[in-house]
A and B are shown apart, each in its own frame.
Chain A
Amino acid sequence: MSNGVRHWWLQRVSSIALVPLSIWFVVSLIALPLSNHAVLVDWLSHSWNTLLLLLFALVATWHSQLGVRVVIEDYVHTPGLNTFALLASTAAHVLIAVAVIYAVLKIAL
């Protein structure tokens, strides 16, 4: 599979996965008492919630990385700036993923 086709497919696969995951996340936010640290930690410590939140946040980060990359490729044409923007976006998304994994595991384990 060529790079472009792979990117296109990954974008679709991640978007389909995000439909149920993001709806689950928003409904959870509605149901949770957001100012209550103890309840939130307890909720996040349930295996299913740990797993779903990790899945949601990581697939969303991945989908975001794929999307931002296309936007940069489409609108940033200056050679040096283009490379810099792509690298900066990738670095930012890696940092987001690492922070999510660290935070969720620290809460849940």
Chain B
Amino acid sequence: MRERPLSPHLSVYKFKYTLLTSILNRFTGLALSLGLLLLVYWLLALACGALAYQRAWPVLSHLLAKVVYAGVLIAFCYHLVAGARHLVWDTARGMERAQAYRSSWIIAAITAVLAIALGYFLFCPQGIPR
């Protein structure tokens, strides 16, 4: 049988911000899927008792781990905001070209503000011993 084209027909699209924001939602979603492994590691370390948690803490609080947390945090903020836009799109609102362009900038701005705010509170605790 002849090979038939399958969606998504990525090569037929011209690059647009809307395309970028849509594919970023998938990338951040996949990153968050990997982030689930961090959650599992953290919970298992907690479940294995105080001594095990003490041993896991240098790994969990390592600078490299913090870089990963920052990445997961940015992915979370983006996926949350872009996902909310997808829910609005599902109601068939905001799908005109001009509206989609504008909302692409709006979600980028909200993501940046949210990531900076949450990152500040997560990584720069004031007076809370960590």
Spell out A's residues near B (CB within 8 Å). Answer: 12, 15-16, 19, 22, 26, 29-30, 33-38, 40-41, 44, 57, 60-61, 64, 67-68, 71, 74, 77, 96, 99-100, 102-104, 106-107
Contacts and interface: CB of A to CB of B under 8 A. Distances in A.
Main secondary structure of the interface of A (DSSP, over half): helix
Which 9 residue pairs spanning A and B have beta carbons closest together?
A: A103-B43, A103-B47, A106-B47, A37-B53, A64-B33, A37-B50, A30-B121, A99-B40, A67-B29
A84 B125 CA distance: 44
A34 B130 contact: yes
Contacts of A96: 36-37, 40
Contacts of A67: 26, 29-30, 33
B84 A40 contact: no
Nearest to A71: B26
A33 B30 contact: no
B57 A35 contact: yes
Contacts of B29: 64, 67-68, 71
B83 interface: yes
Nearest to A89: B33
Contacts of B57: 35
Nearest to B86: A15
Contacts of A19: 80, 84
B116 interface: no
A102 B80 CA distance: 27
B29 to A, nearest CB: 5
A16 B87 contact: yes
B8 A74 contact: yes
A100 B47 contact: no
Contacts of A74: 7-8
A98 B44 CA distance: 11
